[in-house]
Amino acid sequence: MDDVRVIDAADFLGGEWPRGFFLVRTTCGAEVEPKHVCRGKHRDCGAFAQMRYSLGLPAGRKCQACWDASGYRKEGRSGFDPSYAGERYDEDY
């Protein structure tokens, strides 16, 4: 893997992607695959992101700061209240 390139998060978020396999250097200094770069609320965060879940359902990849500001509910499935806005929580479709 000597031909792997590392680009800055600003270049990645700006759409300047090299051909082939590359890593992104996040704003916190980690070198990660593109899917682990936070695009934040305004898609310009660039920090390390991990998969987040709201009420047990996937809510996307976000860094901690963007996750805290996202407005998603942080509880697991137990936080679901069926009386809220007439919603349902089905196990499977």
pLDDT in tens, 61-77: 999 999 998 888 888 77
- CA pseudo-torsion sign 58, 62, 67, 71: negative
| CB neighbours of residue 79 within 10 Å | 11
Write down the pTM of the prediction: 0.72
Alpha-carbon dihedral angle through residues 25, 27, 29, 30, given to the nearest 10 degrees: -60
**pLDDT of amino acid 77:** 75
88 pLDDT exceeds 90? no
Tell whether the model's pLDDT for residue 54 goes beyond 60. yes
